[in-house]
Amino acid sequence: MSQEKHEQELQDYLQGDSELSKTYQLASKELPPAHLDDVILAASRQAVKSKPYLAFSPFASNWHVPVALAAVLTLCVTLVISLQDETGEAYLRSDPDASLQSTKGIDDDTDVKLAIVATRKVQGSQKQIADELAQLEAPAAPAEKNRQIVMQFNSRMQQAVSKVEMATVLERGKAEDRQLPSSKNLLQASPIARQREKAIGLFAEDTMRSRVITPQALAQSEAGFAGSVVPDVAGGQDNATGFLKKLLGKWRGRAVHTPVGPTPYDIEFTWQSKNCISGTADNSFSHHNWTFCEEKSDVTLDFLSDFRGNDQAIHLNLLSMDDGVMTFMADTHQFMQVQIAIDKDKAWMKIMHYGKLHVEIKLQRVGHASQ
Amino acid sequence: MGKEYSDEELMLKYRNNDASAFESLYQRHKGSLYRYILRQCGNEAIAEELFHDVWIKLINARGRYKVKSRFTTWLYKMAHNRIIDHYRRQNTSSSKHHPDDDNLYIDSLAIRPQEQPEQLAELRQQSDKILQTLETLPLPQREVFLLKEEAGRTIQQIAEITGVSADTAKSRLRYAISKLRQAVREQV
């Protein structure tokens, strides 16, 4: 077929309403499955709920960039002026005595002494530079001096920028900390030593999400670990919702549906802090650690499965509560949902992936919470 | 009757915490985007995963959204990149015909009761042939055809989404059209 005919076919097609388009459109009707619609729409609502974006708000995430730039620019100007004051004039003078002579006009004796000290410091720097250049067998030409000034300036600028960046990151980290769940609860929720180690790793990971590891963060992790030894349970029983109280205690049951087949699933939920309960199921192929926390009227879940060596906990927020079924949704792994229902002495949990059943657990109460 | 918002207006509303705006956007584009992905990877499970990833990426990027180009260009650019990423990981650009696709064709044809049985049979054969031929096209040619048919993009927009020149996009579309038409002719 000729090139012209191909081109004509294309032009006909681009004008629209071609037979080819009609025939294709007739067959092309597939839609994403309804469960996927639900997952994506729930994620969109969750995003609005958990991380509100306020246009023109001073707390919006893009606020840091212009402020950081402004801070850097201010520092640049300040440093340039400062460097000019400290070094610029002195470097330009070839005769060290000239700088001393320049102080003769100063009446105040103290100022004269300070000026002399400052100049001698600069002379010292000059000598050091000269020595270094001599070692390189290069003359201490003005161009080289300028290069040293530039290097010195750059070095100081780098330090200053690093400080600004660090301050910005610290602020951002604080802001994220306000939004992200603390993994302290997870730390407190780990009764087994191995779990604790993982939890500490998770704490470090959470801290990394804030991009700064600070001594305070390390101290916090220690505090979290200490908290697991002596949990503050007294306040919890007073403050917690009915859900936490219902779940508290010993349960025996089975994971009736898992990727590797059914398995026993025994778990005991105990108070870990005044508003958190936690339990770990040690089944035949992995450990599942569940930590539920209640703050005001909201309930959150931190779920950690070490299946196939996983050491990342997933934080889930309460999405809905319909007919006694509580649905939690992960904020970072939004394909994952957890559903939980408790009816007196029976409970079930379902872990859903992309809206499909991944794990189903059925539990029967065998003991109430130890006081 | 309520105002019909543009895609860009809806995305801006969603950026400013209007969750219902996202739902409108999603309902407007879910079918075409899903088919765009499905036809390129040829597997429903993978298509669902990629489709999910694209929307989640959009959700997470909402705070940074600015109207720089058409929303659909942005959306399909993300989908294009996700598919490329998928193929890079799979290290293959081939796809397989999914057996369930045949049932979907039958279902889609069944919703046109006004057609005569003979016409339906013929149309079905032609549609079937188009989709089969589409699967045999090289991925770049297939993609430009899908961007035209499913997303209704112009040559210039297709070029922008796929990261090639307009001439290249046009050339690819020309070959795709020619092969698909040839397949239908042979069928008849």
Residue of A nearest to B184 (CA): A20
Interface contacts A/B by beta carbons within 8 Å: 132
Interatomic CA distance for residues A304 and A290, integer angstroms: 7
Kindly list the domain boundaries of chain B, sorted by start residue. Answer: 1-93, 115-188
pLDDT, mean of residues A293-312: 80
Query: Could you read off the pLDDT of A5-64 as tens digits, one per residue?
Result: 777 778 888 887 788 888 888 888 899 999 899 999 999 998 888 755 444 443 344 555
Contact flag B108-A27 (C-beta cutoff 8 Å): yes
With CB atoms and an 8 Å threshold, state whether B108 touches A21: no
Q: Residue A216: its pLDDT value, please?
A: 41
Number of domain units in chain A:
2
Is the per-residue pLDDT at A103 higher than 90? no
Q: What percent of chain B has pLDDT over 70?
A: 82
Taking CB atoms and an 8 Å limit, are B150 and A28 in contact across chains? yes
Listed residues A145, A175, A205: the one ending a domain: A175
Indicate whether A27 belongs to any domain.
Answer: no
Residue carrying the six token digits 């699967």: B135
For B9-57, write each residue's pLDDT tens digit: 999 999 999 999 999 999 999 999 999 999 998 888 899 999 999 999 9
Indicate the class that CATH gives domain B115-188. Answer: mainly alpha
Check if B26 contacts A (Cβ < 8 Å): yes
CA atoms within 13 A on the CB side of A149: 21
Say if A353 falls within a structural domain. Answer: yes
Question: Which stretches of chain B are DSSP H helices?
Answer: 7-15, 19-41, 44-60, 71-90, 100-109, 117-136, 139-149, 155-162, 166-187
Q: What is the pLDDT of residue B160?
A: 93
Check if the beta carbon of residue A339 is closer than 8 Å to that of residue A324: no
Q: Is residue A43 part of a domain?
A: no
Question: Based on the domain organization, do A252 and A350 belong to the same domain?
Answer: yes
The answer to whether residue A359 sits within a structural domain is yes
Could you tell me if residue A21 is inside a domain?
A: no
Nearest to B62 among A13, A39, A47 (CB): A47
Domain end, chosen from A175, A196, A212, is at A175
Asked if the structure places residue A191 within a domain, the reply is: no
Task: Give the domain extent around A95.
Answer: 61-175
- Per-residue pLDDT, averaged over B77-94, amounts to 79
Cβ-Cβ contacts under 8 Å, B109 against chain A:
26-27
Calpha distance A78→B9 (Å, rounded)? 43
A250 shares its domain with A144 = no
Mean predicted confidence (pLDDT) in A96-108: 39
**Residue with more model confidence, A306 or A345:** A345
So what's the pLDDT on residue A75? 67
Contact residues on chain A for B104, CB-CB shorter than 8 A:
29-30
Do A247 and A159 reside in the same domain of the chain? no
Compute the distance between CA of residue B103 and CA of residue B125 in angstroms, rounded to an integer: 13
Task: Give the CATH number, domain containing residue A272.
Answer: 2.40.128.20
Digit-coded pLDDT (tens) for B97-131: 333 333 333 233 333 334 455 666 777 788 888 88
C-alpha A23, offset from chain centre: 50
A239 and A169 within one domain:
no
| Overall fold of domain B1-93 | Rna Polymerase Sigma Factor; Chain: A (1.10.1740)
